[in-house]
Amino acid sequence: MSSKKGSEFERKIPVVLSKWWTGGEREDVFWRRDSGARAKRRSREGKHTFGAHGDICAVDPCGLPLTNIITLELKNGYGQWSLMDVIDRPPMRKGQKNRTLQTFEKFLKQVVEDAEAVNTYPVLITKKDKRQELIILPHTLLVKMKRYHFLAPPAAMVSIEGCEQSMHKFDAIHFHSFLEWCSPNFFVQMDGEK
């Protein structure tokens, strides 16, 4: 990944999320976190670091309901990876103890570890070169969203099962279609029920 492309993506997505969260009124509710290394190290020691997991944090308290429910990781570029790499790879051979992680599995492993440290749902926002942004979220969270909205999610959706990096089944949706479908009030309500 070129750092220029990654940095542009990491600046763009928090602005898009902020506008969605505030109905277009603000673009400064969320911002990218510089590094989660300290939080990761501390969580491995059994210690909690408030607001320090994932790539996006709420820089205004009004955005905390989102980051209290999900841990967001951003991935842009990374060559020719595909969701299909997890689905169509060869099965493990008899006697084989482990196999090389696919790029997408590495993404999942990172966000799942961060989310588990703070008891949130792991969510990825990804973008391959010259492709649309995707949001990849646990199926269990999507089911709750369907119940809340009384509507099916956008039609262009892919389910991902069988990934060894998580007990979750994941669904991938075009990011901007997801934002048009999902109301921020869903996260506010979920946060209030915690």
8 Å CB contact between 159 and 171? yes
Write down the pLDDT at residue 161.
Answer: 67
152 or 21, higher pLDDT: 21
- Which residues does residue 56 pair with via DSSP β-bridges, in sequence order? 32
pLDDT grade, residue 187 (50/70/90)?
A: very high
Rounded to two decimals, what is the model's pTM? Answer: 0.83
The confidence band for 60, taking pLDDT boundaries of 50, 70 and 90, is very high
- What is the distance between the alpha carbons of residues 63 and 131, in angstroms, rounded to a whole number? 28
Quick one: how many helices (H) and strands (E) in the chain?
8, 7
CB-CB contact of 164 with 177 (8 Å): no
Residues 127/133, Cβ–Cβ less than 8 Å: yes
Tokens of 49: 């670091």
pLDDT band at 1 (very low <50, low <70, confident <90, very high): very low
pLDDT in tens, 131-174: 889 999 999 999 999 999 887 777 767 777 656 655 678 999 99
Phi–psi pair at 177, nearest 5 degrees: -65, -40
How many Cα atoms within 13 Å fall on the side-chain side of residue 186?
A: 20
Instruction: State the DSSP code for 194.
Output: -
Query: What would the DSSP string read from start to end of 111-170?
Result: HHHHHHHHT-EEEEEEE-TTS-EEEEEEHHHHHHHHHHHTSPPPS-EEEE---TT-SS-E
